[in-house]
Structure 1
């Protein structure tokens, strides 16, 4: 590549023509995802790939899917789920209806983990829980709605489900895939939502938003936390990734419940 060959025209095209806010994301993350598509299309330079991208609508969809963050798993970071379990016991004991938003849910394994947890614990009234799961990627949402995960997507699936006492109640193992049980899928609704540019939700008792913020530039994290705050009821809970932090200007909005597991409560008020 020549020194004048840069990724910038590609990022500008994606933001302006494809409505994906590349300016919010860490450039190293963007470069990795674009480079992977360059290899797939045998493009030898950014300029060559930019030419392909402008004329090929199928490649535009492939790049958007590549840019969508889809690293996920069932019950990632078990200690975090122990904290969520405690909160769900409390919430379903105190409320007749508990609404949870799984934001940037990728292929659905996080919201299904929430549902499995609710069904597996006798101290949680799963009938009171509803889960909205959102992501920007239509391909990820299609997988999520189907609730079927190929072996390639489910590395060490048995250990992922060790958090549950009897995981076979909630999944069916087939030759080359795992299918989530209908009882687990029933309380989960999926819809497309852009966490960066989309509007806030409202009335949620808990927002789980894990492992997306590490890819976002620091200056653009505040609007995401504002969206989460505005989506919570008073005394609602927020769970973020273990390596993620609340921007300095937003820290007064949330009170720590468990600093190690990055669980917070929104006290409400002006």
Structure 2
């Protein structure tokens, strides 16, 4: 039976990954800070789907906690077949208005943590000759709307680079680039559905289903939703200066996941 490790599994897109992978028969290792929510998730998924869920509480801004998760990914006695790097958050204010410590913590969660965990997982998976890594990036990574966007741009490019390095090994890497999604992520950021057209909001269940289909197809970039696919295609051909200036002018608008 395959095993998937999911960071940020207690809520939002991470929780949806846990639910859908459990329904497909995957055993799970669920990672987040909130141990009580993880325990509740474990109880429900094991009861509903007859799978095994291992709870691994961790604060992914802490180096030692990240190393604990990396060690779990590298453990040859308990192989992990899929890694979902989902943990993340955004800051409400602009770079110069934030405390630099807050910026550093966000950068750790969005960049350093997925790099460390991908390194551990990819080496173990390559040795076994199979596996999949999903890095939850964002449509924001195609724009220039602040340090969150910059971090997500790094994560998307990192995923493409790692996918190329692993080509032919049996291990795939997919960067999931969602737009605005109905989850706690945007609720915590104070972004409501009334602020944006309904067509721009993605359903987490459909988003994750599309991503898992893209993983099965070996796609490196997964962009869910017709509107966002079109936007990604347009941004790919627009001169970088035009895209950057358009993003700069709208930098105080809500950010996509």
Fold match, TM over 0.5? no
Q: Which has the higher helix share?
A: 2
TM range (shorter): 0.3 to 0.5
Q: TM-score, normalised by structure 1?
A: 0.38
